[in-house]
């Protein structure tokens, strides 16, 4: 039997509907509209596409969208002055600076400048520390989306063996913390882990976020395991004259014959990232106004 396909596009659409319902309730009951500010520095084509998509989806769910486009040669002082204004603006509940930025700017310093309570990307050292110590935090969007899909696929995760491949600050580390909070037994691995295949074969849950195309083979997968593939790797066409292919970190065709459930690439984790960004903005809005956590949007 082939594994169940975890449809990230459908899941993300449902999450956006939930976000929209919370936004409508905040407006009707409290006269509050969550607001997301997106800062784009320079004219990177891919970044422009991402930002336009974020802005459209923000408006689609009924939130306020604040777009700020700055020239590629903007000074550090001018960028920080904008972030400071957004930090102080009560109508802005979430702030995102689209990366990458020009070389004269530091992504780490930009993230540090954003108010941690408005850091809806969940990238700041403060939010990482809060998550690691079990405090209320803004959680990085991609691992948050992975957790939501895992809960949907597996229900209660208590006691399950979970393996995370990849140790990035963006995905691997927060993913491990989220799984620990769900009472999983978590093993964090990476490309240099000894006998990685043997470690993965113990996993009831596998989250692959290592950035190596199809590194995880089908015979690495425990029968019935749930596989979340965060990888997004562009590969040459399979045939001359064909289009480039997007593949994950897992050999999907082989893993699908063994796993119980699996995310495809594309169409799996990717669509959840922006949906979780919107969810985080609503969460930040509720916290800023002393309102209860929005049900179904948090870790």
Of 54, 118, 173, 222, the catalytic one is 54
Burial track 114-143 (b if 16+ CB lie within 10 A, e otherwise): bbbbbbbbbbbebbbebbeeeeebbbbbbb
Active site residue 98: yes
User: Could you report how far apart the first and last alpha carbons of the chain are, in Å?
Assistant: 32
HSE-up (13 A, CA, CB side) for residue 182:
25
Q: What is the DSSP string of 53-78?
A: HHHHHHHHTT-EEEEEEE-TT--HHH
One DSSP character per residue, 10-33 reads: HHHHHHHHHHHHHHHHHHHHH---
Task: Write down the catalytic residue from 115, 117, 119, 121.
Answer: 121
11 prior amide bond cis, ω within 30:
no
Q: Is 4 helix (H, G, I), strand (E, B) or coil?
A: strand
Integer Cα distance of 299 and 292 in angstroms: 14
Residue 135 appears among annotated catalytic residues: no
Catalytic residue of the set 98, 119, 204, 249: 98
Q: Which residues are catalytic?
A: 54, 98, 121
């Amino acid at each position: 039997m082939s594994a169940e396909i975890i449809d990230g596009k459908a899941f993300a659409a449902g999450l956006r509907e939930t976000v929209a319902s919370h936004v409508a309730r905040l407006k009707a009951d409290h006269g509050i509209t969550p607001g997301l500010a997106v800062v784009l520095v320079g004219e990177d084509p891919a970044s422009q596409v991402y930002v336009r998509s974020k802005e459209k989806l923000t408006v689609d769910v009924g939130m306020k969208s604040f777009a700020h486009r700055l020239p590629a040669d903007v000074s550090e002082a001018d960028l920080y002055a904008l972030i400071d204004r957004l930090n102080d603006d009560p109508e802005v509940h979430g702030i995102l600076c689209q990366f990458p930025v020009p070389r004269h700017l530091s992504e780490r310093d930009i993230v540090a400048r954003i108010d941690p309570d408005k850091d809806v990307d969940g990238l700041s050292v403060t939010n990482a520390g809060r998550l690691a110590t079990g405090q209320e935090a803004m959680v990085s969007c991609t691992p948050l989306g992975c957790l939501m899909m895992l809960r949907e696929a597996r229900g209660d995760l208590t006691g399950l063996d979970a393996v995370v491949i990849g140790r990035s600050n963006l995905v691997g580390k927060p993913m491990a913390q989220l799984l620990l909070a769900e009472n999983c037994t978590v093993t964090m691995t990476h490309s240099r882990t000894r006998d990685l295949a043997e470690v993965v074969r113990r996993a009831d849950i596998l989250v692959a976020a290592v950035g190596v195309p199809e590194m995880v083979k089908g015979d690495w997968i425990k029968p019935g395991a749930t596989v979340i593939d965060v990888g997004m790797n562009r590969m040459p066409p399979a045939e001359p004259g064909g289009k480039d292919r997007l593949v994950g970190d897992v050999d999907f065709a082989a893993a699908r014959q063994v796993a119980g459930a699996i995310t495809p690439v594309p169409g799996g984790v990717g669509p959840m990232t922006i949906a979780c960004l919107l969810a985080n903005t609503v969460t930040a809005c509720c916290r800023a106004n002393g309102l209860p956590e929005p049900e179904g949007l948090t870790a």
